[in-house]
Amino acid sequence: MSKFAVILPAAGKSSRYSQQRKKVFVELKGRPVWVRTAEQFVHRPDVVQTILVISPDDLEWFKEKFRPNLAFMDIEVVTGGAERADSVLKGLERVRPDVDFVAVHDAARPLIVKEWIDQVFRAVEKSDAAILATPVTSTLKRTDANQKITETVSREHLWAAQTPQVFRRQLLIDAYAKRGRLQPTDEAQLVEQFGKTVQVVPGSALNLKITTPEDFRIAEHLLDALPKEKLPGFLHPFEDERL
């Protein structure tokens, strides 16, 4: 079985969410967003290391606030940098050398489920670099500085990138070494610049990233719509009757 490490970036400023509480620390139907996200990885047998990256300014408060959660979760907490890529690099530096693949998943995407993780994990074992994404379905418009439309952009072959984004460990290390001054918006961009092809794995629109208060309200409703993992039939002899 391949060994995976998971880096959960949570060091962002959340400027579009709230000035008082960062989105990843807010409770989503009784459990903090970051906890819901981390739970999908820490219990997987193929995940041998889970790293949560938070802002240095939040460290002391975080450890005190979430002491009970940390006591029951096998998770490492590290401090991040000024930009997302800097934070992911801080996590990457802590990844164990025996790890085969590194997955980066937004801590603010708490609606990820086992099925989608399985799909992208299987894909990366064949391609060395794979991400979840959804095809763009809306009509796209390019505007000028005054928000006047200048062009309708073809959506053919366009995908909206999601996470997890998963890479062979050494590939991601090498891509970061060649980063230069680039501030990528995701890890796939770094790997693309390095010259490696990244495989797209069709994901789900339910895999929402919480960025605004409106996203949070949507996530509350989507929780009940997520696909449920089917347990073995012998554990539930009347499963068919309950569907």
C-alpha distances in Å from residue 59, one per residue of 24, 69, 221: 14, 14, 31
Is residue 152 in some structural domain? no
Query: Which tens digits make up the pLDDT trace of 159-188?
Result: 999 999 999 999 999 999 999 889 999 999
Is residue 157 in some structural domain? no
Tell me the helices (H) and strands (E) count for the chain, helix number first. Answer: 9, 11
Number of domains in the chain: 1
Closest CA to 9 of 95, 78, 102, 101: 78
pLDDT of the residue at 105: 98
Token pair of 43, please? Answer: 């219990």
Is residue 180 in some structural domain? yes
Is residue 51 in some structural domain? yes
- Residue 80 CB neighbour total at 10 angstroms: 24
Is residue 170 in some structural domain? yes
Spatial distance between the Cα atoms of 213 and 156, rounded to a whole number of angstroms? 31
Is residue 167 in some structural domain? yes
Query: Which tens digits make up the pLDDT trace of 17-38?
Result: 454 568 899 999 999 999 999 9
Is residue 138 in some structural domain? no
Is residue 185 in some structural domain? yes
- In tens digits, the chain (243 residues) has pLDDT values of 999 999 999 987 654 445 456 889 999 999 999 999 999 999 999 999 999 999 999 999 999 999 999 888 999 999 999 899 999 999 999 999 999 999 999 999 999 999 999 999 999 999 999 999 999 999 999 999 999 999 999 999 999 999 999 999 999 999 999 998 899 999 999 999 999 999 999 999 999 999 999 999 999 999 988 988 764 444 444 444 433
Which runs of consecutive H residues, i.e. helices, occur in the chain?
33-42, 59-65, 67-72, 84-92, 114-127, 169-177, 187-193, 213-222, 239-242
Spatial distance between the Cα atoms of 18 and 28, rounded to a whole number of angstroms? 15
The CATH number covering residue 202 comes to: 3.90.550.10
Domain that holds residue 13: 4-133+162-242
Please tell me the pTM assigned to this model: 0.90
